[in-house]
């Protein structure tokens, strides 16, 4: 497999969001329809339609008092069309995105017209319509709305164009603290004379860790790999910190095959060690809980915490970095929350469950 | 040999056991060409101060980032010891400290330490001019976590979070904990600057621990001119709030 393929691999899951994450090597960027299965896309469609209904209501209402009733009137036929369209498009999404961009657009518009006509006919049956030209006007609205929405996604797609997203992902790639690198090297050096076997294992762990850190980390990778990497990292920290560090893993319900952005867990654990364990003399526990609920993967990390610890800027930066990478990969479907109590700090990440397409 | 006629006495402070053992190994290597003796090891600054009071040293190899008390703070308190050792800082990576070291020509070694560098630093150690408190305070933006008090030939460490308030006297500052009072030779203005986050000035001669304030009360007859006093948790004594510092009461939202 060539390098280009391995980055672009047709199954590369990072393409699922707007097809935005592609290689820089590719010339220009190809327009792709949005992924209508993505929560963020759905949310945006709903908001745009609501806004358009609002504008229409504003335009039609004679005075301010009439705006709200008019808005409800306008919305009434719009809502069923909206719901049905989203359903239809999310079912067709995979197929639509495999088509030529313009073919896809034509089909989307046709689907919309079909849905609109269906709703109109049904409405006519149940509530009776005043016939005459209504359907044509309805069609016009639909075409304009669909066009605006697709144009919006076209612009957004361009704003998040591959090169840009690529550059941002690259800049955001987690960097290990030099503090950790040099302290670990120092620890290994001190082992060489007395315990050469342990020194060997430690250097092997370091090699693996840095191989991943220096690799191309723009594509999603299996959760199991990320957990293994984090374990190797923790082996090194345990070497340095000895009894001061205890790690509790809860990975019984871990979906090892789930795909997540690489280097999400390890930097968080590194933070936990740096801010939670190192400033303490007494031993501390880091607990890592990885599990799956329905279609969500949860990563929960807890560490001891003292409020006067200082150096919080570094922690905020690391969290901001991970949050942005999650957004680039999953848009609104992933979240990262952190919370601090008197003596513990917790980070909770929720990701959509994705796995390698077969 | 050095001009003191005895082997160079060395104390090691580092929170990582393997880092300490690495320094020990290197010192043993140095011992071939150098008369030296390791007087003890400590895992943080507080333990080092304790150690030095038992067994004096000529040099302290001091890691910067340690729990309880970091190396830079320990170096400040060490100056109160009768025969304070020279200090050589060690650090794996600390951008801020390294910049400050360069700026103030402070001796330091980066970890992993090279035998040759350690050897050079130790041979120069007698020529090192002792660090001034001023310089040491500029090496870190962090406030100290302890105050050190000289009492009957010993140095006592008082953790800052135990300090309820500080009061300026003629020449000294009195610091008050739940248990007792201590005298330190520092200026209240300087303390106010350093501990801005945790202490607030309520009067020309009083700094009060923010976390210890229980309430502000109307003072009775003979109270301060502002008419307000502050009560600290667990302390019966009321401290005066001056008219100029009355805004503090509003800041606490407890008027």
Chain CA centroid to CA A61, Å: 41
The alpha-carbon gap from B66 to the nearest alpha carbon of chain A, in Å, equals: 7
pLDDT of residue A320: 87
Give the closest residue to A299 by CA, choosing from A352, A343, A340.
A352
Alpha carbon distance B39, B59 (integer Å): 10
CATH of domain B146-251: 2.40.50.1020
pLDDT at position B182 is 96
Looking at per-residue confidence, does A81 or A297 come out higher? Answer: A297
Is residue A23 a part of any domain in this protein?
Answer: no
Using alpha carbons, list the distances in angstroms from residue A298 to A57, A295, A301, A353, B79: 42, 10, 10, 9, 51
A186 in a domain, yes or no?
A: yes
Q: Is the pLDDT of residue B255 over 60?
A: no
Give dist(CA B113, CA B94) in Å, integer: 15
Based on the domain organization, do A115 and A136 belong to the same domain? yes
Question: Structure tokens of B68?
Answer: 């309880």
Closest CA to A204 of A241, A226, A233, A180: A233
Q: Are residues A258 and A133 in the same domain?
A: no
Enumerate the domain spans of chain B.
8-138, 146-251
Q: For residues A159 and A50, which has the higher predicted lDDT (pLDDT)?
A: A50
Same domain, A153 and A220: no
**Looking at the complex, does the CB of residue B50 fall below 8 Å from at least one CB of chain A?**
no
Radius of gyration of chain B (CA): 22
Residue with the bigger pLDDT between A177 and B186: it is B186
pLDDT of residue B103: 85
The predicted model gives A329-358 an average pLDDT of: 88
Statement to judge: residues A182 and A148 lie in one domain: no
Residues 125-144 of B with CB under 8 A from A: 142
Work out the mean pLDDT of chain A and round it to a whole number: 82
- Domain annotation covers residue A104: yes
pLDDT tens-digit readout, B45-87 = 999 999 999 999 999 999 999 999 999 999 999 999 988 899 9
Whole-angstrom Cα distance, residue B236 to residue B194?
Answer: 27
Query: What's the pLDDT score for residue A232?
Result: 94
Whether the predicted model's global pTM rises above the 0.90 cut: no
From A3-7, A94-98, A144-148, the region with the lowest mean pLDDT = A3-7
- H or E element: which one contains B61? strand B59-63
Residue tagged 């047709």 (tokens)? A10
**pLDDT reported for residue A3:** 40
**Per-residue model confidence (pLDDT) at position A140:** 85
Single out the residue in A140, A160, A180 at which a domain terminates: A160
Q: CA end-to-end span of chain A, whole Å? A: 17
* Residues A184 and A317 occupy one common structural domain: yes
Q: Which of A178, A186, A238, A273 to mutate to test the interface with B (most CBs of B within 10 A)?
A: A186
The mean predicted confidence, pLDDT, of chain B is: 90
- pLDDT tens readout for residues B210-254: 999 999 988 766 666 778 899 999 999 999 998 888 888 888 764
Q: Do A197 and A336 sit in the same domain of this protein? A: yes
Judged by CB atoms closer than 8 Å, whether chains meet at B17 and A279 is answered as: no
Three-state DSSP state, B105: coil
Residue A6 lies in a domain: no
Per the CB < 8 A criterion, the answer to whether B224 and B248 are in contact is: no
- A345 inside domain: yes
CA A300 to chain centre: 16
Per-residue pLDDT tens over the stretch B106-165: 889 999 999 999 999 999 887 777 788 888 888 888 899 999 999 988 999 999 999 999
Whether residues A183 and B111 touch (CB distance < 8 A) is answered with: yes
Chain B residues within 8 A of A190 when measuring between CB atoms? 18-19, 21-22, 25
Residue A297 or A73, more confident = A297
- Checking if the pLDDT of A159 tops 80, the result is no
Q: Which CATH class is domain B8-138?
A: alpha beta
Structure tokens given for A193: 């004379």
A279 and A259 inside one domain: yes
Contact A279 B67 (CB under 8 A): yes
Name A124's Cβ contacts closer than 8 Å, sequence gap at least 6. A131
Residues of B in contact with A185 (CB under 8 A): 112
Number of domains in chain A: 2
* pLDDT on residue A15: 37
Averaged over A130-147, what is the pLDDT?
Answer: 77
The CATH number given to whatever domain includes residue A268 is: 3.30.565.10
CB B114 within 8 A of CB A182: no
pLDDT at A13 over 70: no
- Do A84 and A190 fall into the same domain? no
- Whether A324 and A179 share a structural domain: yes
pLDDT tens per residue across span A215-266: 877 788 999 999 999 999 999 999 999 999 999 999 999 999 999 998 899 9
CA distance B251 to B42: 42
pLDDT at A118: 86
Which residue range(s) make up the domain with A116?
30-160
Whether A144 and A232 map to the same domain: the answer is no
Higher pLDDT, A11 or A274: A274
Three-state SS across A77-123?
Answer: HHHHHHHHHHHHHHHHHHHHHHCCHHHHHHHHHHHHHHHHHHHHHHH
Domain boundary among A160, A190, A224: A160
Residues A244 and A302 in one domain: yes
- Which phi and psi angles does B135 have, rounded to 5°? -65, -50
> Is there a single domain that holds both residue A72 and residue A146?
yes
Q: A173 preceded by cis ω (within 30°)? A: no
pLDDT at B212: 94
User: Under 8 Å CB-to-CB from A156, ≥6 apart: which residues?
Assistant: A18
């Amino acid at each position: 497999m060539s390098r280009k393929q391995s980055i672009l691999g047709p199954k590369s899951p990072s393409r699922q969001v707007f097809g935005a994450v592609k290689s820089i090597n590719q010339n220009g960027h190809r327009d792709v329809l949005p992924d209508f299965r993505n929560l963020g896309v759905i949310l945006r469609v709903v908001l745009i339609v609501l806004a358009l209904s609002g504008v229409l209501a504003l335009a039609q209402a004679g005075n301010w008092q009439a705006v709200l009733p008019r808005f409800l009137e306008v919305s009434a036929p719009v809502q069923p069309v909206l719901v049905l369209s989203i359903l239809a498009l999310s079912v067709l999404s995979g197929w639509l995105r495999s088509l030529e961009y313009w073919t896809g657009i034509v089909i989307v518009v046709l689907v919309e017209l079909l849905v609109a006509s269906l709703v109109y006919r049904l409405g006519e049956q149940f509530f009776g319509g005043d016939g005459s030209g209504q359907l044509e006007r309805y069609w016009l609205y639909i075409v304009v709305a669909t066009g605006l929405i697709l144009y919006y996604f076209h612009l957004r797609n361009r704003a998040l164009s591959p090169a840009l997203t690529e550059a941002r992902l690259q800049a955001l790639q987690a960097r290990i603290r030099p503090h950790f690198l040099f302290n670990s090297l120092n620890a290994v050096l001190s082992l060489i004379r007395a315990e050469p076997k342990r020194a060997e294992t430690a250097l092997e762990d370091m090699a693996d860790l840095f191989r991943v850190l220096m690799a191309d980390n723009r594509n999603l990778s299996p959760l199991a790999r990320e957990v293994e990497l984090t374990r190797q990292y923790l082996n090194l920290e345990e070497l340095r910190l000895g009894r001061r560090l205890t790690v509790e893993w809860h990975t019984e319900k871990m979906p090892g095959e789930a795909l997540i952005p690489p280097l999400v867990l390890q930097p968080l654990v590194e933070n936990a060690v740096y801010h939670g364990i190192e400033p303490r003399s007494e031993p501390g526990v880091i607990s890592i809980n990885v599990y799956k609920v329905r279609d969500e993967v949860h990563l929960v990390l807890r560490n001891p915490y003292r409020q006067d610890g200082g150096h919080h800027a570094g922690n905020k930066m690391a969290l901001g970095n991970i949050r942005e990478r999650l957004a680039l990969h999953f848009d609104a479907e992933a979240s990262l929350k952190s919370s601090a109590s008197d003596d513990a700090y917790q980070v909770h990440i929720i990701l959509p469950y994705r796995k390698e397409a077969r | 040999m050095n001009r003191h006629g005895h082997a160079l006495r060395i104390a090691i402070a580092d929170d990582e056991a393997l880092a300490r053992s690495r320094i020990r190994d290197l010192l043993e290597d140095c011992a071939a060409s150098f008369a030296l003796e390791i007087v003890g090891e400590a895992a943080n600054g507080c333990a080092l101060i304790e150690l030095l009071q038992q067994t004096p040293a000529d040099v302290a190899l001091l890691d910067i980032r340690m729990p309880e008390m970091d190396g830079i703070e320990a170096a400040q308190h060490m100056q109160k010891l009768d025969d304070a050792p020279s200090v050589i800082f060690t650090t794996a990576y600390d951008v801020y400290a390294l910049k400050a070291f360069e700026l103030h020509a402070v001796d330091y070694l980066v970890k992993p330490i090279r035998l040759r560098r350690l050897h050079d630093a130790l041979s120069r150690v007698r020529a090192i001019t002792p660090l001034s408190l001023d310089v040491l305070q500029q090496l870190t933006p962090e406030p100290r976590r302890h105050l050190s008090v000289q009492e009957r030939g010993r140095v006592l460490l008082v953790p800052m979070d135990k300090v309820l308030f500080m009061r300026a006297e003629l020449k000294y500052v009195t610091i008050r904990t739940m248990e007792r009072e201590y005298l330190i030779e520092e200026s209240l203005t300087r303390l106010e600057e350093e501990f801005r986050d945790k202490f607030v000035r309520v009067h020309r001669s009083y700094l009060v621990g923010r976390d210890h304030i229980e309430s502000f009360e109307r003072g009775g007859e003979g109270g301060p001119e502002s008419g307000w006093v502050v009560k600290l948790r667990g302390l019966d004594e009321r401290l005066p709030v001056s008219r100029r510092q009355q805004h503090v009461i509003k800041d606490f939202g407890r008027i």
